[in-house]
Amino acid sequence: MSTGKQRGPIGQLAEHASGYYAHLLGLGYSPSAANKHRQLVAHLGRWLDREGIPVAELTAVATEGFFAARRAHGTPNLRSPRSLHPLLDYLRHRHVLVEIVTAVLSDPVDVFLHDYRCYLLAERGLAEGTVRFYVYIAGLLATERRRDDGVSWASLRAGDVTDFLTRTCAGRGISSARQVVSALRSALRFLVMRGEIDLALDHAVLSVAGRSSALPRGISSASLETLVAACDTTSAIGRRDRAIILLLARLGLRGGEVIVLGLDDVDWRSGEIVVVGKGGRRDRLPLPADVGVALADYLEVRPRVEDRAVFLRQSAPIRRLAETGAIRAVLERACDRAGIPYANPHRLRHSVATGMLRGGACLRDIGQVLGHQATAVTATYAKVDLCTLQALARPWPEVRS
């Protein structure tokens, strides 16, 4: 690999070089950084031609030899296959790459998990984090059922399910074990739907015994105001974080609902927003004045990119926040600045519910705001209203000798 002045990209990648460079600038890359990626494309184009690899089949795995040569040569940057992710995203968006996922999956466990993941995303509409956990549990089960001739589902019985659940839940807390139960039931229902098993083995998955006596914990109004005030509204990231915190604290949105909030979901004329919740459910909620002001302040400095998500990363590549961990990071930074203990997004959600309850709202109204599909879920907050519960409490029976 020559260290002198490089020629322009040749072969299959030549037609994509200028468009890719402009794309990187649009994502917030500096001209210097975008130029380094353009040089990478030039080197990669020549390597693909020498190896006889069509650009349509370009993957990070297929180019490991290319990056090994870059590292051996002492190239100071863009030395791993991860450097290709922006290029692969660009080519995939322009339908240059061939979708060869199912073709390269030969292991029966991998095929099953790929199909299950697609089902959870497309049919169930689950959040990415939930999908990852469900696929992880399904992978444990599938690995145990692996045989020389594939995966043996037909011989799966209730006792096998119970044994697997017992081993998988060992050492987990109540909440974590309940997540395992939900994931396992989902995987077993998927197997029935695919015709892999005839028995409704999801009924063999026992519920987790135990009940939490703790009340839903929100944070105080004073702490919340301190948290919001700690955001630096003179900076773009401070305005973004303030708008995110207010959405969590005033409307009780889940972290995933904040991430997927789009520019078209804000109806400024009617003062409402459309919230896309679990399972793709869409609800319209009123937009409180302070939340609207915070959103407007952020949108004034929001980077101008093609992505229609409201909240974006502030550094290149500028695109929507990837997952709910980004929302937790926003709260962690704000709590540190405010000097208060960390409060996760769900605690702010609890604060909305308990505040509405103390203000006289009924459980049905609270459930509509929080996007609960089952009244039993909202009923948890009835435990918070101790004054009303006192009127219902009966005296402890006296013991007669």
The CATH fold assigned to 221-387 is: hpI Integrase; Chain A (1.10.443)
What is the model's pLDDT at position 218? 73
Does 221 score more than 70 pLDDT? yes
**What count of Cα atoms within 13 Å lies in the side-chain half-sphere of residue 76?**
3
Does 81 score more than 60 pLDDT? yes
Is 108-204 a CATH 1.10.287.470 domain? no
Weakest-pLDDT range from 95-104, 115-124, 257-266: 95-104
Query: pTM for the full model?
Result: 0.70
Q: What angle do CA 373, 376, 380 make, to 5 degrees?
A: 115
Dihedrals φ, ψ of 298, to 5°? -70, -40
Q: Are 208 and 169 in contact (CB under 8 A)?
A: yes
Catalytic residues: 254, 278, 346, 349, 372, 381
How confident is residue 103, by pLDDT bands cut at 50, 70 and 90?
very low
- Which percentage of the chain shows pLDDT scores above 70? 85
Dihedrals φ, ψ of 219, to 5°? -125, 155
Distances (CA, A) of 241 to 27, 303, 327, 329, 397: 20, 14, 9, 10, 53
CA distance 278 to 274: 13
Q: Whole-angstrom distance between the N-terminal and C-terminal Cα of the chain?
A: 96
- Report, as an integer, the average pLDDT of 97-108: 59
What is the model's pLDDT at position 401? 56
Distances (CA, A) of 351 to 223, 254, 338, 339: 11, 13, 18, 19
pLDDT, tens only, 12-63: 788 888 888 888 888 888 888 889 998 888 888 888 888 888 887 777 667 8
- Chain mean pLDDT for the chain: 83
Task: Give the pairing type, strands 146-147 and 150-151.
Answer: antiparallel
Per-position DSSP letters for 88-142, written without gaps between them: HHHHHHTT-S---HHHH--SHHHHHHHHHHHHIIIII---HHHHHHHHHHHHHHH
pLDDT, tens only, 202-215: 998 988 876 655 55
Would you list the domain boundaries of the chain?
A: 11-93, 108-204, 221-387
Assigned token pair, 202: 């999801």
* Other beta carbons within 10 Å of 66: 20
CA distance 49 to 37: 18
How confident is residue 270, by pLDDT bands cut at 50, 70 and 90?
very high
Assigned token pair, 81: 């296959």
What is the model's pLDDT at position 186? 95
Highest mean pLDDT among 92-106, 138-152, 387-401: 138-152
CA distance 174 to 180: 10
What is the model's pLDDT at position 379? 64
